[in-house]
Chain A
Amino acid sequence: MTDLPTSPFPALLVGLPFLLATLSLFFSSKGKAVVGLIGSFLTALLAIVAFVEVTQQGTVIHILGGWEPPLGILLRMDSLAAVFIGMTALVGVFISLYARGYFRAQEDSSEGFPLFWPLWLFLWAGLNGLFLSNDLFNLFVTIEVIGICAVALAVLSGKKAALFAGLRYLLAAITGSMAYLFGVALIYGSTGTLDLALLGQVLEPGPTTTFALLVITPGLMIKMAGFPFHFWLPPAHSSAPAPVSALLSALVVKGAFYILLRLWTEVFGVSLTFAAGQLIGVAGAVAVIWGSWQAFMQTSLKLIVAHSSVAQLGYLLLVFPLLVLAPGVTADSADWLSPAWTAGVYQVIAHAFAKASFFLSAGIIIMAMGHDRIESFRDLAARMPMTVMAIGLAGVSLIGLPPSGGFMAKWNLLQGIFLSGQWWWAPAVLGGSLLTASYVFMLMRLAFAPARKKEPLRPVPFRLQVFALLLALGSFLIILPAESLIQFLESSQIFGSGIESIVEGGVYGND
C-alpha cells in the first residue's frame, strides 16, 4: 500500500473544508455565507483536480504527518473514492449556490440560517474523509462526523416537527454507529488490524467474522436507511429546509452505502454467504416496492420525494446479493461482477443528481406557494414551466428511462441480475420503475390539470430554478461519460484479494 504514489490532495480534500468551516465560525451571518460559498467552490475545484490526478496516476495515497500506519493515518484515493468525491463536489456546488439564494430569499424570517455553512463544510470534510479512509476506525470517525452534522442540519429550522424528526434521526444514527463499532471491535480483537486491504488478506472465516458481518451490515443499513431501518428518513428529510433535504438525500446516505460496498467487496469476501446476500436483496426489493408505493400515497410533495429516496436506496441494496453466487453455481470468470457493482455506483450518482434536483424544485414550489400539498401542483406546467421541467427530468431519471443516468444504473443492474442467474430480482427492479413512474406522472398529471382556484405565486429568484434544472439535466448528462467512467471504476480493484472467494461463491456458497 505504501509504495503507491503519494499526493497532497487526499489531505487537502479533508483539511480545506474543515479549516474553512472552522474559520467561518468567526464571521458574522453574512460572512459565514460568503466563506461557505467560497469554501464550496474551492473544495469542488480541489476535488476535480484530484479526480483528474487519479485518472492519470491511478490510486494515490497520503500519509498524514509522515506517520506510517498502523500508528498514523493513511488516506487512499482510488478510482471508486475519486468518483464519489467528484460526485459530491458537483452536486455539492450546485446545492451551495442554491442554498445561498434560497436562504437570502427567506432572510427576514430566519436570518438566513447562518449555521448552515459551517455545518455543511464540516459535513463535506467528513464525506471526503469517509471516501478516502483506509481503515475501519477512520470510517467510524468520519461517519460519526457526518451523522452529527447531518442531524444538526436537519433540525436547523428549529420547528417542532424538525426537532422530533431530528431526534429520531439521531437515535437511529447512534444505534447504527454503535453496531458498526461493535463489529469493528470484534474484527480488531481477532485480527489485530484495522487496515482494509490487510484485513482482506488476513481475515479468516469463522464465527467471529460472521458475527462481525452480522452486526456491521445492519448497522450501516440503519445509516443508509435500508429497509426495514428506513423509518427515520422520511420525516427527517422532509422537515429540513430544501437545500438540507437535498444534501441529506443526495449525499449523506450514500456514505454508508460506500462503506458497506467497500467492506463486502474488500474485507468480508471470505465470509459472505449466499443467504446473507439474499437477505439484503429481499430488504432492497421490499424497499423498492414499499418505498415507491408509500411515495405514491403521500399528499405532500416533500414526503413523496423523501419516500422515493427509501425506494431508490433499495436499488443499492440489490447490488449485494449479486456479489455472491448461488450454491452450486460457479462462474468461469468475474464477468457478472462488474455490471453488478458499477450499477450500484451509477445508481448513487444518478440518484444524487436527480434527488438533489427534486428536493431543490420542491423548495422552489414551497417558496412560491407557501405550502407543499400536491394540490398546489395544479396548472403548474403553465405557471412554473422550468421547475416542472426539472421535476419531470429528475423523475424520468429516477424511473430509469433512457437516456438518463438512472437508465444506465438499471441497465447494468439487470445485466448483473441475469448474468448471475438471480433473475428473481428483475420483477422488483421493473416493478419499482413502474411505481416510480406512477408517482412522478401523478405530479406531472396535476401540473397539466386546470387549477381549481388561482393562488397568487410569491416571487422565486430565477437562478434557483436554473440550478434545479441544471442538476436535473446533470442526471442525464452523466450517461455520456459512462463508458470511460465504468472502465475507470473497474480499475479500482475494489475486490482486492477477496475476488477469488467471491468468484467461488464465498466459503459457504459452493460447498
Chain B
Amino acid sequence: MDISFFTAAIVAGTPLVYAILGELITEKSGQLNLGVEGMMLIGAVIGFKVAIVTSNPYLSLLGAIFAGGIGALIYGILTISLRANQIVTGLALTIFGAGFASFTGQGLIGEAVPQNIKLFFENFQIPFLGDIPVIGPIFFNQGILVYMGYLSTIIAGLYLYRTQIGLNLRAVGENTAAADAAGVKVSFYKYIHVLIGGLLCGLSGAYLSLVYIPSWQDNITAGRGWIAVALVIFCKWNPFLVLCGAFLFGGLDIIGFRIQKYEFNISQYLIDLLPYVVTIIILILISARKSQLGAAPANLGATYFREEK
C-alpha cells in the first residue's frame, strides 16, 4: 500500500467530514435529522448546476450551501415549529431531495465541470507542513476544501466546548426543559443549528459533484449521507474525532477500486459492500458497549413542548 492510497482516502473522506459535522451540530441541539442524504443531494445538484451556468467556484459553493440550508429549513419548520415526528420528516426530506436532484440533474448528465473551477479546487502544498515526510504529502498537499474540512472540525470543537453559546446549545440537547427554564431561547437555538447542519451537508454534496466525482450522476451520494449519520455515533458526538471516522471510511470507500490490481479472486461488487458492512459492525459494537451510548445528547429526537397555562 503506497502513500497515494492514503492521499486518496483523505479526498474520499472529505464529503463525510462536512456531512458528519453538520449532523453532529444538528444533533447537539436535540434534533435528529435523517435528511442528510437528501440535503447532500440537493446541494450536489445545485452546486453543479450553478457551476455549469456561471463557471464561478464561489457562486457554486454558495448555491450548494444555500440549497442545503433550504432543505434544513423545511425540516426545521416541520419538526421545531410544527412538532412533526423527526424520523419521518428526515426520511421525507431524503425522498424529496432524491427526487429533486434527479429532476434537476436530468439535463446535466454528461456535462463536465468548467476548467477554472477544476483549477480552483486543485491541490496545493502548504509551506513547511507539506514538507514533512509521509504526513506532508498525505495531509498537506490537498485541495482548498480538504483544508477547510480540517479547520471546520477545529472551529466546531472550540465553538461547542469553549463558548457560552456552545454550552447553551449542549444544554438544549441534553435537557431542553432546563435550558428553557434558564432562559435559553430553545427554538431559536434549534433552528440555527439545524440550519448550520444543512449548510454543511449542502457543502458536502458540492464536494462530491464538483471535486470528487466531478460530473453529474443519479444518486451521486450513494448512501454517504446515511453513513455520516452512523459515523456521528462512531465519533461519540465529538467534533475532534470526526476526521478519524471520515478518513477511515474514505479509505474503505476506495479500497475496492485499489485492490483490483492485486488480482484477488473476489468480485468488485462484493468488495463494494465493505463500507456498509463495516458501518453495521461499528453500530453493533457501539451499542453492545453501552457506556459509549451515553455520549448522545439526552434529549436527542424528543419533541419539546412547553404546555402553556
- The finding on whether chains A and B are genuine partners in a shared complex, rather than unrelated, reads no
